[in-house]
Amino acid sequence: MERRPFGKTEHRLSIIGFGGIVVMGKPQEEANRLVREAIDRGVNYFDVAPSYADAEDRLGPALVGLRDGVFLACKTAQRKKAEAAAELRASLKKLRTDRFDLYQLHGLPSTAEVETCFGPGGAMEAVLEAKQAGLIRYVGFSAHSAEGALLALEKYPFDSVLFPFNYTTWYQASFGPQVLEAAKQRGATRLVLKAMARRPWPEGAERKYRNCWYEPIDDPKEAALALRWSLSLDVTAAIPPGDPELFRLAMDIADRFTPISAGERATVEKMAMANAPLFRMAG
């Protein structure tokens, strides 16, 4: 699997990352098999968070003996210093590691929460103290708000931005281009969420994929176009939906990745117009 640079560091990440939701609710033996399958196929980028139910509890044991060969990212959804510091310590213990390669403010939904994180006694104080103590190497954030992401990028020289660079939100809602450009200008590595998201679940639809709060793309041809579109942006890696079947589909697509052509890009734009975007600009 292709690997791309994580900023100007020595790290090169697989273009597909392993989202911890993949092992959420799985028996430990199955979680172990999923992790080893991913590593055998070239995945070295793993991302998890405390909010993913028991994902940390499953991923920690699965990575025993394998930890030094992967780039491990974790997150905190806490916005105040004491709570964020406690959550970081708990995550380290569950994941059976003494450090995170990347630690992120999780799911910034608004400029107000960004301000809280950076205010007196905010979560960033805990994150920066942990970095100084050697518990984390790089600092990033994830966001589903373009306005929140742009403000965060102004507040601190983050190493990475994990954001929904999705074809429908891009073409229909102009949601994503401004974050990609701002991150590039500030030297923050761009990491992708929701590349294989089609739209919100239609009302009354059967939710085949319980780990997805949105309707994912499971048609192989359509999924390949969507994922290749995102990976053809100036980004490093994408984290697919948190379902083992969809994760395997993403790895299959990545194994034969080629940049999207002009004709395919036009097809993706037409696909976007048939869907409802998951996110829009505020206001």
pTM beyond 0.85:
yes
Average pLDDT, the chain: 97
Domain boundaries, the chain: 3-273
The string of pLDDT tens digits covering residues 26-68 is: 999 999 999 999 999 999 999 999 999 999 999 999 999 999 9
**What is the end-to-end Cα distance of the chain in Å, rounded?**
40
With contact defined as beta carbons under 8 Å apart, do 180 and 234 qualify? yes
β-bridge pairing 136-143 and 160-163: parallel
With contact defined as beta carbons under 8 Å apart, do 147 and 281 qualify? yes
- pLDDT reading at 210 higher than 90: no
Give percent of the chain above pLDDT 90.
96
DSSP letters along the chain, please? --EEE-TTSS-EEESB-EEGGGGTT--HHHHHHHHHHHHHTT--EEE--TTSTTHHHHHHHHTTTTGGGSEEEEEE---BHHHHHHHHHHHHHHTT-S-EEEEEEEEE-SHHHHHHHHSTTBHHHHHHHHHHTTSEEEEEEEES-HHHHHHHHHHS--SEEEE---HHHHHHH--SHHHHHHHHHTTPEEEES-TTEEEEPPTT---S-TT-SEEE---HHHHHHHHHHHHTSS-SEE---SSHHHHHHHHHHHHT--PPPHHHHHHHHHHHHTS--S-----
What confidence category does residue 282 fall into, taking pLDDT thresholds of 50, 70 and 90? Answer: confident
User: Rounded distance, CA 165 to CA 228, Å?
Assistant: 12
The string of pLDDT tens digits covering residues 110-120 is: 999 999 999 99
What confidence category does residue 281 fall into, taking pLDDT thresholds of 50, 70 and 90? Answer: confident
Task: Give the pLDDT score at 262.
Answer: 97
Residues 3-273: name the CATH superfamily.
NADP-dependent oxidoreductase domain (3.20.20.100)
Residues in CB range of 93: below 8 A, 6 or more apart: none
- pLDDT reading at 283 higher than 80: no
